Chain A
Amino acid sequence: MPKIIRRGVITADNRHGIDADAETTLPGQVCTLAQWLKLADKCGSAVQLEPGQPPAPLLEHLEDIELVVIHFPVLTDGRGFSYGRELRERGYLGELRASGHFIRDQLTYLVRCGFDAFQMADNTDLEAALLSLNDFSEHYQAAVDEPLPLFRRRQIAAS
Chain B
Amino acid sequence: MNIQTICRPLFSGKVAPREGTLPWGRHGEYDGLMYVYDQYDQTIVDERVAQFRDQTARFLTGQISDEAFLPLRLQNGLYVQRLAPMLRIAVPYGLMNSTQLRKLADISRDYDKGYAHISTRQNVQLNWPQLEEVPDILEELASVQMHAIQTSGNCIRNTTTDQFAGVAPDELDDPRPYCEIIRQWSTLHPEFAFLPRKFKIAVCGSRQDRAAIHNHDIGLDLVTDAENNLGLKVLVGGGLGRTPAIGAVIREWLHPTHLLTYLEAILRVYNQHGRRDNKYKARIKILVKAMGVPAFREAVEQEWRSLKNGPTTLTQQAIDHARSFFRAPDYAILDSEDARQDIQSRCMADPIFAQWFQSNTQAHRMPGYRIVTLSLKATGYAPGDITAEQMELVAELADRYAYGEIRSTHQQNLVLADVRMSLLYELWQELQPAGLATANIGFLTDMICCPGGDYCSLANAKSIPVAEAIQSRFDSLDYLYDLGPIELNISGCMNACGHHHIGHIGILGVDKKGQEFYQVSLGGSQSKDASLGKILGPSFKQEDMPDIIDTILCTYLSLRKAEESFLETYRRVGINPFKERVYAQNY
Q: Which residues of A contact B (CB under 8 A)?
A: 51, 54, 75-79, 81-83, 85-86, 89, 103, 105-106, 108-110, 112-113, 135-143, 147-152, 154-155, 157-158
Which positions 42-77 of chain B face chain A at CB distance < 8 Å?
Answer: 43-44, 47-48, 50-51, 55, 64, 67-68, 71-72
With the chains together, A74 CA to B185 CA distance in Å?
A: 26
Q: Which residues of B contact A (CB under 8 A)?
A: 22-25, 38, 40, 43-44, 47-48, 50-51, 55, 64, 67-68, 71-72, 154, 181, 184-185, 187-195, 260, 268, 271-272, 276, 306, 310-312, 314-315, 317-318, 321
Contacts of B194 in A (CB 8 A): 75-78, 81, 106
| Given A76-B71, A142-B312, A158-B23, CB of A137 within 8 Å of CB of B47 | yes
> When the two chains form their complex, are residues A103 and B68 in contact, meaning their CB atoms are under 8 A apart?
yes
Contacts of B38 in A (CB 8 A): 154
With the chains together, A149 CA to B191 CA distance in Å?
A: 14
Q: Which of B48, B190, B276 is close to A141, meaning CB atoms less than 8 Å apart?
A: B190
| Given A103-B64, A109-B190, A149-B312, CB of A77 within 8 Å of CB of B318 | no
> When the two chains form their complex, are residues B71 and A140 in contact, meaning their CB atoms are under 8 A apart?
no
Question: Which 8 pairs between the two chains have the least Cβ-Cβ distance?
Answer: A78-B194, A158-B24, A112-B190, A151-B318, A109-B190, A140-B184, A142-B311, A138-B43
> When the two chains form their complex, are residues A140 and B64 in contact, meaning their CB atoms are under 8 A apart?
no
- 26 A-B residue contacts at CB 8 Å? A78-B191, A78-B194, A78-B271, A79-B271, A81-B192, A81-B271, A82-B271, A82-B272, A85-B191, A106-B193, A109-B193, A136-B44, A138-B40, A139-B190, A141-B185, A141-B312, A142-B310, A143-B190, A149-B260, A150-B40, A154-B24, A154-B318, A155-B317, A155-B318, A157-B24, A158-B23
> When the two chains form their complex, are residues A154 and B23 in contact, meaning their CB atoms are under 8 A apart?
yes
Q: Which of B55, B192, B195, B311 is close to A152, meaning CB atoms less than 8 Å apart?
A: B311
Contacts of A154 in B (CB 8 A): 23-24, 38, 40, 318, 321
> When the two chains form their complex, are residues A140 and B187 in contact, meaning their CB atoms are under 8 A apart?
yes
With the chains together, A106 CA to B310 CA distance in Å?
A: 26
Interface hub of A78, A135, A139 (most chain B Cβ within 10 A): A78
Contacts of A103 in B (CB 8 A): 64, 68
Contacts of A108 in B (CB 8 A): 190
> When the two chains form their complex, are residues A79 and B272 in contact, meaning their CB atoms are under 8 A apart?
yes
Contacts of B187 in A (CB 8 A): 140
Q: Which of A54, A82, A85, A105 is close to B55, meaning CB atoms less than 8 Å apart?
A: A105
> When the two chains form their complex, are residues A135 and B47 in contact, meaning their CB atoms are under 8 A apart?
yes
With the chains together, A85 CA to B488 CA distance in Å?
A: 45
Q: Which of A75, A149, A157 is close to B311, meaning CB atoms less than 8 Å apart?
A: A149
> When the two chains form their complex, are residues B68 and A75 in contact, meaning their CB atoms are under 8 A apart?
yes
Contacts of A82 in B (CB 8 A): 191, 268, 271-272
Contacts of B23 in A (CB 8 A): 154, 157-158
Closest residue of A by beta carbon distance from B68? A103
Closest residue of A by beta carbon distance from B307? A89
With the chains together, A113 CA to B271 CA distance in Å?
A: 14
Contacts of B321 in A (CB 8 A): 151, 154-155
> When the two chains form their complex, are residues A136 and B68 in contact, meaning their CB atoms are under 8 A apart?
no
Contacts of B312 in A (CB 8 A): 141-142, 149
Contacts of B184 in A (CB 8 A): 140, 150-151
> When the two chains form their complex, are residues A152 and B40 in contact, meaning their CB atoms are under 8 A apart?
no
With the chains together, A141 CA to B312 CA distance in Å?
A: 8
With the chains together, A141 CA to B185 CA distance in Å?
A: 6
Contacts of B191 in A (CB 8 A): 78, 81-82, 85, 109, 112-113, 143
| Given A135-B47, A140-B187, CB of A151 within 8 Å of CB of B276 | no
With the chains together, A86 CA to B272 CA distance in Å?
A: 11
Nearest CB of chain A from residue B25's CB, rounded to whole Å: 6
> When the two chains form their complex, are residues A140 and B188 in contact, meaning their CB atoms are under 8 A apart?
yes
Contacts of A83 in B (CB 8 A): 272
> When the two chains form their complex, are residues B195 and A78 in contact, meaning their CB atoms are under 8 A apart?
yes
Nearest CB of chain A from residue B27's CB, rounded to whole Å: 13
> When the two chains form their complex, are residues A89 and B306 in contact, meaning their CB atoms are under 8 A apart?
yes
Q: Which of A89, A135, A140 is close to B51, meaning CB atoms less than 8 Å apart?
A: A135
Contacts of B72 in A (CB 8 A): 105
Contacts of A86 in B (CB 8 A): 268
Nearest CB of chain A from residue B341's CB, rounded to whole Å: 48
Contacts of A85 in B (CB 8 A): 190-191
Closest residue of A by beta carbon distance from B50? A135
Q: Which of A54, A105, A138, A155 is close to B47, meaning CB atoms less than 8 Å apart?
A: A138
Interface hub of B48, B72, B190, B194 (most chain A Cβ within 10 A): B190
Contacts of B48 in A (CB 8 A): 136
> When the two chains form their complex, are residues B188 and A155 in contact, meaning their CB atoms are under 8 A apart?
no
With the chains together, A82 CA to B48 CA distance in Å?
A: 23
> When the two chains form their complex, are residues A151 and B271 in contact, meaning their CB atoms are under 8 A apart?
no
Contacts of B24 in A (CB 8 A): 154-155, 157-158
Closest residue of B by beta carbon distance from A84? B191
With the chains together, A143 CA to B428 CA distance in Å?
A: 51
Interface hub of A135, A138, A141, A143 (most chain B Cβ within 10 A): A141
Nearest CB of chain A from residue B338's CB, rounded to whole Å: 44
Contacts of A136 in B (CB 8 A): 44, 47-48, 51, 188
> When the two chains form their complex, are residues A139 and B195 in contact, meaning their CB atoms are under 8 A apart?
no
> When the two chains form their complex, are residues B192 and A139 in contact, meaning their CB atoms are under 8 A apart?
no
> When the two chains form their complex, are residues B306 and A54 in contact, meaning their CB atoms are under 8 A apart?
no
> When the two chains form their complex, are residues B190 and A155 in contact, meaning their CB atoms are under 8 A apart?
no
With the chains together, A63 CA to B64 CA distance in Å?
A: 39
> When the two chains form their complex, are residues B190 and A113 in contact, meaning their CB atoms are under 8 A apart?
yes
Nearest CB of chain B from residue A133's CB, rounded to whole Å: 12
With the chains together, A83 CA to B276 CA distance in Å?
A: 16
Closest residue of A by beta carbon distance from B23? A157
With the chains together, A108 CA to B54 CA distance in Å?
A: 15
| Given A109-B193, A150-B40, A154-B321, CB of A54 within 8 Å of CB of B51 | no
Closest residue of B by beta carbon distance from A158? B24
| Given A78-B194, A109-B190, A157-B24, CB of A148 within 8 Å of CB of B185 | no
Contacts of B311 in A (CB 8 A): 142, 147-149, 152
> When the two chains form their complex, are residues A152 and B318 in contact, meaning their CB atoms are under 8 A apart?
yes
